[in-house]
């Protein structure tokens, strides 16, 4: 069943009823890939003019995400996107890198939010944070954040594909597809691969 606009605003409306004016949605893209950064977007949206079709970015086609990208930016009160590269991920692990990335995105917003709606991750940034499991599909604001983060990270991975064409990053965005895995076996890792992820993959596959 497709959620209605009102359903997607349930968390935002509750926060507004409790006195919040600026509600920030935050989401990450790129926790699972073998290569590339983790990217996080924090966004405060206008809630008086809701954009039709905003949803979990994974449920949308690439063309639909690109179409919504400019609309979301035009409706945003404030938006901030940050990325942390594979070296940081290898050094502090993907969960800690995601939290650090999210914290940076929030801190760099031009407006300080009254409350944060997060896709499952509880953040300690001195602002009330409400973690919502599956939040990118349940909250309009988190969904908007997920689309911005996904589009920007995908664009970056297409640029990396021009530098490292053997891995097919333009299509797999760093995820472990057969083509990608075959390339790693054939030519080894690139400078943007997460070595801790590859080590784990090798252990799992004997």
Q: Provide CB contacts within 8 A for 61, sequence distance 6+.
A: none
SS (H, E, C) 51-117: CCCCCCHHHCCHHHHHHHHHHHHHHEEEEEEEEECHHHHHHHCHHHHHHHHHHHHHHCCCCCCCEEE
Give the per-residue pLDDT at 3.
44
Give the per-residue pLDDT at 76.
98
Q: How far is CA 188 from the centre of its chain?
A: 27
Bridge partners of residue 28, in order along the sequence: 40
Give the per-residue pLDDT at 185.
93
Give the per-residue pLDDT at 205.
59
Give the per-residue pLDDT at 1.
32
* Cα-based distances in Å from 61 to 35, 38, 151: 22, 20, 11
Query: What's the CA gap between 194 and 117, in Å, rounded?
Result: 28
Give the per-residue pLDDT at 203.
64
User: pTM for the whole thing?
Assistant: 0.94
Query: What's the CA gap between 143 and 165, in Å, rounded?
Result: 31
pLDDT tens over the chain, length 206 residues? 334 556 899 999 999 999 999 999 999 999 999 999 999 999 999 999 999 999 999 999 999 999 999 999 999 999 999 999 999 999 999 999 999 999 999 999 999 999 999 999 999 999 999 999 999 999 999 999 999 999 999 999 999 999 999 999 999 999 999 999 999 999 999 999 999 999 877 666 54
Give the per-residue pLDDT at 43.
98
Helix axes 10-17, 140-163, angle to 10 degrees: 130
- Per DSSP bridges, beta strands 115-118 and 128-131 are parallel
Query: What domains can you pick out in the chain, each with its CATH number?
Result: 5-204 (3.30.420.10)
Hey, what are 136's tokens?
């990118």
Give the per-residue pLDDT at 201.
77
């Amino acid at each position: 069943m497709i959620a209605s606009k009102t359903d997607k605003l349930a968390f935002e409306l509750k926060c507004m009823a409790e006195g919040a004016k600026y509600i920030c949605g935050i989401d990450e893209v790129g926790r699972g890939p073998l290569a590339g950064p983790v990217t996080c977007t924090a966004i405060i949206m206008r809630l008086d003019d809701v954009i039709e079709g905003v949803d979990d970015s994974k449920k949308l086609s690439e063309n639909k995400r690109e179409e919504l990208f400019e609309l979301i930016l035009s409706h945003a009160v404030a938006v901030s996107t940050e990325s942390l590269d594979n070296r940081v991920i290898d050094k502090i692990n993907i969960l800690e890198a995601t939290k650090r990335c999210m914290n940076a995105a929030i801190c760099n917003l031009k407006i300080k939010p009254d409350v944060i709606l997060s896709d499952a991750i509880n953040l300690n940034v001195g602002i009330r944070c409400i973690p919502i499991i599956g939040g990118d599909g349940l909250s309009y604001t988190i969904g908007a954040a997920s689309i911005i983060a996904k589009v920007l990270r995908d664009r970056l991975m297409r640029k990396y594909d021009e530098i490292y064409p053997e891995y097919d990053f333009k299509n797999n965005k760093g995820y472990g597809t057969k083509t990608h895995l075959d390339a790693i076996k054939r030519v080894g890792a690139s400078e943007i691969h997460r070595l801790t992820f590859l080590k784990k993959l090798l252990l799992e596959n004997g």
